[in-house]
């Protein structure tokens, strides 16, 4: 019973992550004239687009990991 509930919650969470494909549901914007990259999921803007394109994405990865951890904590009620 409990396993079925957990699986149903995980399934619902996965379905909520799937985008409709609508342009307004964008994940990230790359603005070359301003050397800016914005991740819309976590409201992070970096003025280091050239570095990101060169593969220096650690700050982006760390910010996404922190946002994911915070989301998991808030979902668990902690």
pTM: 0.66
The tally of domains found in the chain comes to 1
CA distance 22 to 30: 18
Distance of CA 8 to the CA centre of its chain: 22
The range of the structural domain enclosing residue 53 comes to: 26-78
40 in a structural domain: yes
The DSSP H or E segment spanning 2 is: helix 2-17
Name the token pair of 39: 């991740």
Please give the pLDDT value at position 8. Answer: 83
Please give the pLDDT value at position 64. Answer: 96
7 in a structural domain: no
47 in a structural domain: yes
Q: 3-state class of 22 per DSSP?
A: coil
Cβ-contact 31, 38 below 8 angstroms: yes
Name the token pair of 71: 């989301």
Output the tens digit of pLDDT for each of the chain's 78 residues.
Answer: 788 888 888 887 777 666 566 666 789 999 999 999 999 999 999 999 999 999 999 999 999 999 999 999 998 876
């Amino acid at each position: 019973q409990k396993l079925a509930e957990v699986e149903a919650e995980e399934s619902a969470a996965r379905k909520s992550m799937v985008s409709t494909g609508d342009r307004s549901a964008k994940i990230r914007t790359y603005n070359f004239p301003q050397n800016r990259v914005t991740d819309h999921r976590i409201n992070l803007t970096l003025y280091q687009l050239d570095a990101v394109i060169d593969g220096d994405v650690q700050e982006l990865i760390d910010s996404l990991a922190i946002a994911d951890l915070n989301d998991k904590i808030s979902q668990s009620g902690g």
